[in-house]
Structure formats: structure tokens, C-alpha cells
Amino acid sequence: MEVGELPERLSFPQEEENVQKYWERIGAFEKSNELSKGRKVFSFYDGPPFATGLPHYGHILAGTIKDVVTRYAYQTGHHVERRFGWDCHGLPIEFEIEQALGIKTKEDVLKFGIGNYNKQCRQIVMRFAGEWERIVKRLGRWIDFENDYKTLSTSYMESVWWVFKQLYEKGLVYRGFKVMPYSTGCTTPLSNFEANLNYKDVQDPAVTAAFPLKDDPNTLLLAWTTTPWTLPSNMMLCVNAEMSYIKILDEKTGKTYVLAESRLVQLYKDPKKAKFTVLERYQGSDMVGWKYEPLFDYFVPEYGDRAFFLVSDDYVTDDSGTGIVHQAPAFGEDDYRVCVAVGAVDKSQLPCPVDESGRFLEPVHDFVGVYVKEADKLIVDAIKKKGRIVKNEQYFHSYPFCWRSETPLIYKAVPAWFVKAEELKDKLLENNLKSSWVPKFVQTNRFGNWLENVRDWNVSRNRYWGTPLPIWTNEAHTERLVIGSVEELETLCGKSGIVDIHRENIDDLEIVNPETGNVLKRVEEVFDCWFESGSMPYASIHYPFTEEARNYFGNAFPADFIAEGLDQTRGWFYTLTVLATALYDKPAFKNCIVNGLVLAEDGKKMSKRLKNYPDPMTVVNEHGSDALRLYLINSPVVRAEPLRFREAGVRDVVKEIMLPWFNAYRFFVQNAKHLEFETGESIKVGTHTAKEMGSRNPMDHWVMSSLGSLIHFVRQEMAAYRLFTVVPRLVHFIEDLTNWYVRLNRPRLKGAISLDDWRIGLENLADVLLALSRLMASFTPFFSEYTYQNLKNYAPESLQSESVHFLMVPELRDDVVDEKFEAAVGRMQEAITLGRVARERRNVSLKQPLGKITLVHRDQNVLDSVMSLESYVKSELNVQEVVYSTLESEFVVLKADADGKILGKKLGKSFAKVHKAVRSMTSDQVQDLESNGSVEIEGHKIEACDIRITRDLAPSLKDQAEHLETAFTGGRSGLLALLDLQVDEELEEQGTCREVVNRVQKLRKHCGLNPKNRIEVYYWTSDAKLGGVIARRAAEIGNTLKSPPLLELKHLSPKAVVYSEAETKVGSSPLRLCMVRAAPCPSVARLAEAPSATRDSATSAASYILARESGELHELMEQLQTTKISIDDVEYELKPGYNVFKSNSERLAAGAPP
């Protein structure tokens, strides 16, 4: 990859695209897999997304986490197979087709034809696959799309059959009726975790209905419900045996009611003011067996002799309703359980007068064809006409909706096929603890609690586009065969060449039961798509049907790593765990990272309709993929917490991380080339050992130690999959590198100290940048590659490669780690930061030198650590002296105040006394509190963290307050800095010099000059004071600029090559600067002293001299001391310091005429 001249401003998105083209040109991903063959396998399962929509930030986040971990696994010596997968079956596709075709019911599907229906589904399944591949690759993720797996492929579906048959043979599959969350919009039951995906706040009718006792029709049992549509199917009423019930006479209506005594509030707004008479009290257990008159007689002929009486169960509570719950066994899980337990209904036959679309059937003839939710009002009106509505209200509550069709779910008994998850509970809990989750609380709390309350898993769906259940049975379900492979099906049905096992191809295939000779037909259901995705570890490789799959599975199961969002604790994580436990009694994965949800900036769910988030690719094209990746994985979302996505946050990553990193890299490259230009030698990492490089310069020692600590930390934390600790540490190192190491070493790295120091410093910086490119390669793959392609020119043979992504992470460098010195530099940084804060508070520029700063700390060792690096403190804070003291009381008085928010809650009424005592504490007492961490006040232990501690200038320094500014880190371990702001004449002049240098450097940068471009500077000002300072310190300013001393503008030669002129100001004083190309300065008058020379010929000789590059002529003059040139047949002997000078200022200083 060719890297040209580095621009001053880099377009990260453009360079990322260039890197991506380079990867494609060399086949980087494919080559990496070839290079890693034979290494230890690192197995990774990628949960399959649907390709019916484009990737959103949730996909991008999970994909980034997966890419980071798998890239890092490769970098630690593993072979990492990464195959993309597609979830191709299920409701998302079906729902879209039904909307497009206007299909609403099962009859519509059958009329259209299952084959035609599935053909339509197949056509849209991979509609956005191309876009997915383009976007995923643009985001820097390396994953194999060419050898992807699809849940619709026959090989995948066959493995799903095999999984199911294994469960069946283990006795873990059964057919039963179960009340399930049911989507009338999609005409299918949903799993419990799907039912929890989409709750909405809604208003529903809430009615209190009266049920007259059979033996005493004037006594009315009161039952409350928010689903009036279930009342026609009422079979029983249920009470709690332990609760107290009351029979009352309502004076207003003259009617007699029975309800829970604690629930009178359901009948009366204020029971204390209500007018009623208590007639009797009962225990719930006393009421069991009471018979009552049903609201409707639809089911009386069939169930009248076995239903319509009171039962008891513990699920009845008194937190709402009347304490008497109406039971409709086909529409409530507890209702079903209770009614079956007392024999009111049979497991095999239920009173369920609602069809698959949620419309009433016979025998509920009054409402046949009416959708259940629309029937609520009609049913309430019918009951009201019977005089049996006691109360009719609206109830505002949270209610589950179908996550696809957005229709309200109902609970409905359906025949379905179940996996006995409840039977596996203990093993599920045990296997869960065998894996490692990040963060841990998701494993033990959210997922652990889900497993603790596990229910049998309904794995069937009454749908069409999916893997058909491989169950052939007779009509009575007394005979059953479960098929585990296509070959087995072909053998049993007598048909060969079966290549597709979707419903349209196998529904008509009949099997003769070998044992009975009876004909068996396939059941209608297909698998829940969660069962298919949970089978991914086996089905994605067509296990166990090929030898290659069997060999690979042995090395790849359980997976080393998976990652998905928090919502998958009840989805993919769960199904993987159930199937792995059922098949092998193992966890499906060893390590799992769970990310939180990415929300819109306003905290709401991201919505295309509301347009409350920026398009991901717009963000990438504006700021770059690396910046987006870093923003996402350096946020709370990698700790399973929610993230409010802010595009400004991505922009900040570019500004605060990517640009400083680029600037440090660019700074190195520029100066490495400058060194090569000056010496003909190039930098080569590895010429010196890390210890040798670190021993020569304190900052080298520090940055090499910090790098060693970083490498150790990254390896340690990545082994534990704690991205949330790794990324902040990497980012902090980049900040340290750019804001501290490069900044504090800038003169040295630019060659201002010595050639040897220059070379060593740049070699050190190259080593750090090379290591950083490898450490960051997993996180910022594009920019790491971009920097490496140039840095490898300075790398040793062992680090030469086509791509940084073929290299391993840096080896441990624990031998260079010096934690004590790192801590000392940390204290130095703290002192410098405090000094800057103090300047900013008083608005004193860093260019203005100051006399001294006093650093105070109770621990002399802390002060000694700063003292050892004092030169940096002086330089960075532009102070001439640093004073140290351990006597804090000589400088400040400590005051304390209680934190009302914290202590107020803790202490309650005692807070006032404690608050007063805290505020009266002496400075010494506050100091003791800081040192000890707590103090007892008014009988309460008060922690230091509950107290706000401030520091005021000591009374002895009050008269100097105008000239002193304090800054403090905080806590007993923090430094205190007192900056002396007094400026005398000498300091003022030094500050003026710095301002002039700053103006020249800005002009230099504006002209695009580099260090090789030598300059001379001329000036003019109308301010005598400013002019005097510049004149007196012209040489000092010139030394800083690496130029001759500044001269007044009147001395500018008319033949000078002017780079730029500018009008500026220093303070309020005007200043004109003229920057010209540095050139040798001949004295025409003295050149004319040559034999046969005239003024005109000497002028020609001077023009020739001025045309020469100053560096070339200077070198020639220094080498020969005298040089002879011949111009127009006149020979001139050039004498440095007599008739030719290095600069105009040197000529003037020598008193030579022009």
C-alpha cells in the first residue's frame, strides 16, 4: 500500500476507503486465514440476522464487538473461522409477504398455495444481502460472506431435524395444549420471550360482573376482568383459600354482593364512607364448591355437570380486582391449570370458541365472526342487558403486543410441540455458571433468573415458511415417527432425490409405519425460528452429516466466544443453552459479551418513522468507521447499559483521539524524513533495546514503561473479554502519547538537542507507534493499517508484513515496566495540570513567564517524585522556580460542609445537628477527617465522601490573594498548587518574546513551510516599547526560531525572496512581520575590492551568490573557508565574515557596507 506525503488534514473516511481497496486487492482477509491454518482454533458463533432490512446501530455495535474479539484472537496466535449467517425463516419474512399480498388468514394462504407463498418468501429473503455485505465490510469487519450459512438451506434444515430427533429420543419432546401468547395478526403462538418484546400502555375495559349463586340467586359473586371477550368461555370462579371474604348488602342498590374484604375499594371509591351492611364473613376455603349461574349458556350443555362452581388457588391475590377471578381455561395459563386440576375440562378438549385469526366461532353464536377485542363492547352490553354488570370502567395498563404485526396479543390454548425445558432446569443453571459473561450480572441476574423460572419451550409454529417439524403421525396422534435426516425420509416414504424439505415439498409425503402398517402424515407445524438459530452450532456446518463437520465440531464446541445484545438473554442465548444442555450437557459457549441497547439521543427507541437518529452510513462517510467503532465500544453500552447515540460523540472521537493520534504519527514521519535528509540515515526500530532507549531520557523511560504496562493490561483484560476496561486504557495511552510524550519531547524529537538524542527519540517514538498500531488494530482496523503501512519502513524484519492484521499483538515487556516512575510522571502531570488551571482562572497566557509555583503535599515522597521531573514542570508552566512544602496549614485553611443530599437521607432528623457540627470543624479536624477517612459526630460515623471539603488561602496570605491563585486535585492524596502571578519587567519581556515567536510560527505555518525551509525575519512596530524589547532580544528570538536575529524592516534587501508579510498585534501594539528566504548576504562594496572588479561586476557576483541555496553555500564556505568564483572574467575570493555573510544581521554586526 503506497503512502504518499502526509497531508496536514486527513480525511479519515477517504483513507479508510483506500485501505479497504488495498485489503481487497491483496485478499487480506482470505490471506490471513491461509496464514493461520494449523494454529489452535478459536471458535466463534455469529448469531444470524434477517436480511429483510438494513443494518442498524444495534447490528453495528454487536458486529464491532465480534470483530474486535475475533481480530484479537487472531493476533494472539489462533485460527479464527468467521462465517456470516442469515436467519431466513419465520414471521418477519411472512409478515412482509402477507402485507404485500393482502393475505390475512390461513384460508388465504391455502387458497394462494403454500408453494407459491414460500416462493414469494424465498424471493425477498436475501433482498438486502448485498447491502449488508457492503456496509459490514465498510465498517471494517472481516467475515466470510462467500461461505455464509443460511437457515433455508437443506443442509442447515437437515441438521435442525437431527437436533430435534436427538431431543425426541431423549424423551424431551411432547405434544400438548398450552395457553400461549398468541398473535392473531400472524395467526401463530409466540414464545414467552417474544411476548415480552413489545409492551405498550393501553386502555382496556375493566368490568365487574355478577354471578348469582345457584342456591341463592340474590347473592351475587363479584368477579373483575380486563378481558370481557373471555367471559362467554367462563367455566369456573376462583378464590384464595387463605383470604377473607365478605357478604354485604349495598344500601344504594339493595343487592347482596360477595367479594374479598380487602377489595371493597373495587366496589366503592371510599369504603369508609360507603353505605353497606356486613351480612357474613367467610374464609376462602369455606366457599370452595359453591355453584353459580354462568353469564352465558353457550357451554352449559357440554360442561354444565362438571363446571360453574368455585375453586381455590394461591395465584389469586388481593392487589387488584375483587379477590374472585373468573376462569376461562382456553385463554389463561392459570385458568387452564386450575380447571384441568379439578376436572372441569380435559387436557385434550377445551372450550375455545375463537379461531386462528381471533374471531368468534360457534357455539358463541351471538358474536360469530367478530374479532375478540372488537367484541368487548358487544359482550359488555349483552351482560348489562342481563343486569349483571356492577361496574364498567376503563383500565390503563401495560399490555403485550405482537412484535411483528403490532396487534394486541391474546392468551389462547393451542396444540403445540414442546421441549421439556423445565425438566432441564438444574442442568441449565449448572451449565450457565460454567461460562463467563461480561458483564457478570447479566449471567447471574437477568439470565440466571430467566433459567430459574424456565418454562417448557414451545418450538412449533402454525406457519408455512420455516423448517417443517419432522414428525409423521396418525390423526389420533397415537402413532408417531420422528425423522432425523433426508436419507431417512427418502427410505421411509419411498421417494428419492429430495433436495428441498420445505413444506410444499414434503407435506404430501406419507410414511407407512413399519410396526403397524398404518399410514402416517406429517404434522402441519414448522419450527420456531429461535429453534433454528439455537441449532446454529450444528446446522451451520451440517453436523453430523460430514466427516469435515464432525472433525471441526470436536474442536469448536463449545464456542470460545459469542456476543449479542441484552435482549438475547431470552432469545438466542437461551436457545443455544437449552439445546447444548439437552444434547451434550454442556454450555454452548465459554465466553459471552452482552451489549446494551443503542437508543436515540432523546432516550427513545430509534425509529425510522420519527427519524430520531442519523443514518449509520452518513455518520461513517462523515467521520469514518474507526471513529464510530471507538465511540460505540468506549461507552457504557459494552457493559450492557443503554447508550443515547450522539453523532457529536463520534465527532468528538475524531477530534480528541483520531486527530491527535494522526498528528503524532505525522510529526514522527516528518521528523524521521528530516533526520534522513540531514544525515542520510534512516530510523530503524530495534537498533537499541527498550531498556537502552528508556534509560537515556526520562520521558523515553516513562513512555516505554507505560507501553509495557499497557501491553500487559490489554493482554490481561482481553483474556477476560473486558472491552469496557481495555478501550479506555488504550484511549488514555493515546492521550498520554500525544499530549505529554510528544509535547514534552518536541524540541528533542525535532533535533534541537543533539543528533544522538534526535535519533534515539525518534526510534523510541517509532517503536511506540508501531506497537500502538498493533494494539489498536482490532479496534480501529483502518487507521492502524494506514499508519503501519508507513511505519513498517522503520520496522525490523520481524514486523515486516503486507498488513498489520497479519501480525501478533506485542509481546509482554514487563522488564521495562517501572510503576514507581509512572506514578512520578503522574504526579508531574498533576502539577502541570493544576498550574494550567490556575492560569486559566486568572486568564494568564502560558506564553507569559511567571516567577514561581508552590506545590504542597503532606507526603515528602510525592514532592520528591515531582522534583525529579522539575524541568518539565518549569517548561510546561513557563515558571522560573518550583517551591515545595509539606506544611499545608501554612498556605490554606480547610473547611467542611455536609452534603445534604447524601447525609440528609442517611441521618433524617439528626442531619441538622450533624450539619452544624461539621461546619464548625477546625482546619486540623478536617485534615484528620481526610487522613482517617471518617469521623464520629453527634454519635454518627461520618465518611469523608459525605463531606465537601474546600481550601481557602491562609489568613497570613490574604494580603497576597491578588497575586496568588490556588488549584487542588482533591482528597488527602491530591496536590495543592499556589501560582505566583506577579510579573516584573524581566518576566514581561520574556513573555513579549514568546508572543513574537508565536506570531512568526503562525506565519510560517500559514506559508506551509517545513523545518528545512530556513528563514530570516524582519519587523516594524510603531510601539517604542515593543520595538525596544525585540531589538534587545533579537538574537534570543532568532535562536528560538532557528533563524538569524530579527532585523528592522528598513534593513530588508530589495533582492530578498519574500515568503510572506503580515500585520499582527502583540497585546494592543501593532507589529508588521516580513518573512524571507534565508540567503547568504554579500557585501557588494567589499566584493568590488577584487582586482579588475567594478561596482557593476560586483553586483553581478552578489546576485549569483544570492541565487545559491543558503545551506549549500554555507556548507561549501565552512568546508573550504575561502571560495573563489569567476563572474564575467573577474575572479572573486569569497571570505566568510568579510565580503560574504551567513545573514544580513551578521553583515550588520560586522559593520560591513552593503
Q: Would residue 605 show up in a list of annotated catalytic residues for this protein?
A: yes
Residue 257, CA distances (Å) to 43, 179, 228, 813 in order = 66, 31, 20, 82
| Peptide linkage before 587 cis (omega within 30 of 0) | no
What is the rounded CA–CA span in Å between residue 1123 and residue 922? 80
For the stretch 1103-1140, what's the b/e string if a residue is b when 16 or more beta carbons lie within 10 angstroms of its beta carbon? eebbeeebeebbeebeeeeebeeebeebebebebeebb
Note the pLDDT tens digit of each residue in 464-493.
Answer: 999 999 999 998 888 999 999 999 999 999
For residue 892, what are the β-bridge partners? Answer: 953
Whether the pLDDT of residue 917 is over 50: the answer is yes
Q: With a cut of 60, say whether residue 1121 has pLDDT above it.
A: no
Q: In whole angstroms, give the CA distance from residue 408 to residue 402.
A: 6
- Which triple of cell numbers denotes residue 536? 446454529
- Asked if the model's pLDDT at residue 694 lies above 70, the reply is no
pLDDT single digits (tens) 419-446: 999 899 999 999 999 999 999 999 999 9
When comparing pLDDT for 639 and 245, which is higher? 245
Cβ-count burial 271-292 (b if 16+ within 10 Å, e if not): eeeeebeeeeebebeebeebeb
Q: Which of 20, 23, 67, 87 is catalytic?
A: 87
Report whether pLDDT(1113) > 60: no
Catalytic-labelled residue, pool 604, 608, 958, 1065: 608
Confidence of residue 196 (pLDDT cuts 50, 70, 90): confident
571-600 mean pLDDT = 94
Beta-bridged to residue 85, according to DSSP, are 149
User: Is residue 497 left, alpha or beta, with left meaning phi > 0 and alpha meaning psi from -120 to 50?
Assistant: left
Q: How many CB atoms lie within 10 A of CB 999?
A: 18
The whole-number pLDDT of residue 1117 equals 54
How far CA 1084 is from CA of 627, 1088, 1101, 1120, 1152, in Å, comes to 60, 6, 8, 21, 10
Mean pLDDT of the chain: 90
Q: Does 39 score more than 80 pLDDT?
A: yes
The secondary structure of residue 859, as a DSSP letter, is -
Nearest Cα residue to 636 out of 435, 439, 436? 439
Those residues whose C-beta lies under 8 Å from the C-beta of residue 873, and which sit 6 or more positions away, are 828, 831, 832, 835, 853, 866, 879, 882
Task: For residue 405, give Cα distances in angstroms to 30, 187, 353, 400, 420.
Answer: 41, 10, 23, 12, 29
pLDDT in tens, 398-425: 999 987 788 999 999 988 898 999 899 9
% of the chain beyond a pLDDT of 70: 97
H runs (alpha helix) in 776-897: 781-791, 819-842, 860-867, 870-877
- Per-residue DSSP letters for 694-715? HHH-HHHHHHHHHHHHHHHHHH
Strands 256-260 and 1081-1082: unpaired
**Is the pLDDT confidence value at 499 over 60?**
yes
- Could you tell me which of 779, 430, 554, 435 has the C-alpha nearest to residue 43? 554
Closest CA to 213 of 279, 311, 285, 291: 291
CA–CA gap between residue 530 and residue 90 (Å, rounded): 9
608 is catalytic: yes
Cα 86 from Cα 126, distance rounded (Å): 8
Kindly report the number of other CB atoms within 10 A of residue 38's CB atom. Answer: 6
Q: For residues 1111 and 1116, give the distance between their C-alpha atoms in angstroms, rounded to a whole number.
A: 9
Distance of alpha carbon 1031 from alpha carbon 1035, whole angstroms: 8
> Quick check: 934 pLDDT over 90?
no
pLDDT reported for residue 538: 96
Q: At what angle do helices 129-138 and 12-26 cross, to 10 degrees?
A: 110
Cell of 577: 443453552
Q: Identify the residue with better confidence: 1123 or 243.
A: 243
pLDDT in tens, 174-190: 887 888 899 998 888 78
- Are 183 and 354 in contact by the 8 Å Cβ rule? The answer is no
For residue range 55-102, what is the model confidence (pLDDT) as tens digits? Answer: 888 889 999 999 999 999 999 999 999 999 999 998 888 888 888 888
Task: State the pLDDT confidence band at 683, using cuts at 50, 70 and 90.
Answer: confident
Write down the catalytic residue from 161, 530, 661, 702.
530
Average pLDDT for 1056-1062: 89
User: Is residue 4 pLDDT above 80, yes or no?
Assistant: no
pLDDT at 53 over 90: no
**Gyration radius of the chain's alpha carbons:** 41
For residue 556 the three cell numbers come to 469448536
Over residues 749-777, mean pLDDT: 90
Residue 254 pLDDT class (50, 70, 90 cuts): very high
Contacts of 1080 (CB under 8 A, 6+ apart): 1105, 1106, 1108, 1110, 1113, 1114, 1117, 1140, 1141, 1142, 1143
Looking at per-residue pLDDT, the higher value among 905 and 759 belongs to: 759
Nearest to 504 by CA among 461, 471, 464, 475: 464
How far apart are alpha carbons 65 and 629 in whole angstroms?
Answer: 9
pLDDT surpassing 60 at residue 968 = yes
Mean pLDDT of 734-750: 91
End-to-end CA distance of the chain, in Å? 53
Model confidence pTM above 0.95: no
Q: Give the model's confidence band at 1120: pLDDT under 50 very low, under 70 low, under 90 confident, else very high.
A: very low
Mean pLDDT in residue range 138-151: 93
CB atoms within 10 A of CB 822: 17
Q: What cell numbers appear for 652 in the block?
A: 468528538
CB 705 within 8 A of CB 695: no
Closest of 105, 610, 198, 108 to residue 407, by C-alpha: 198
- What is the structure's pLDDT at 1069? 93
Whether residue 528 has pLDDT greater than 80? yes
**Helix/strand/coil for 163:** helix
DSSP sequence for 728-794: HHHHHHHHHIIIIIHHHHHHHHTTSS-HHHHHHHHHHHHHHHHHHHHHSTTTSHHHHHHHHHHHGGG
Note the pLDDT of residue 972.
60
Catalytic-labelled residue, pool 75, 568, 789, 990: 568
- DSSP secondary structure code for residue 606 in this structure: P
pLDDT band at 15 (very low <50, low <70, confident <90, very high): very high
Q: Among the options 465, 572, 661, 740, which is catalytic?
A: 572
**pLDDT tens digits for 605-656?**
887 777 788 889 999 999 999 999 999 999 989 889 999 999 999 999 999 9
Instruction: Please say whether the beta carbons of 405 and 185 come within 8 A.
Output: yes
pLDDT at 946: 78
pLDDT at 691 (0 to 100): 55
- pLDDT number for residue 176: 78
In angstroms, the CA 979 to CA 964 distance is 6
- 48, 49, 205, 1082: the catalytic one is 48
Q: Are 554 and 66 in contact (CB under 8 A)?
A: no
**Annotated catalytic residue, options 605, 958, 1002, 1065:** 605
CA 855/CA 173 separation, integer angstroms: 75
pLDDT greater at residue 365 or residue 926: 365
**Any idea what DSSP says for residue 515?**
T
In angstroms, rounded to a whole number, what is the distance separating the alpha carbons of residues 576 and 568? Answer: 10
Rounded to whole angstroms, the Cα distance separating 462 from 187 reads: 7
Give 194 or 889, the one with higher predicted confidence: 889
Proportion of the chain above pLDDT 90, given as a percent: 63
Core vs surface per residue 933-942: b (16+ CB within 10 A) or e: eebebeebeb
657 with 734: CB under 8 angstroms? yes
Phi, psi of 657 (to 5 degrees): -125, -55
Known catalytic residue: 572? yes
Q: Is the pLDDT of residue 1 over 90?
A: no
H or E element that contains 35: helix 28-35
Alpha-carbon distance of 456 to 173, in angstroms, equals 10
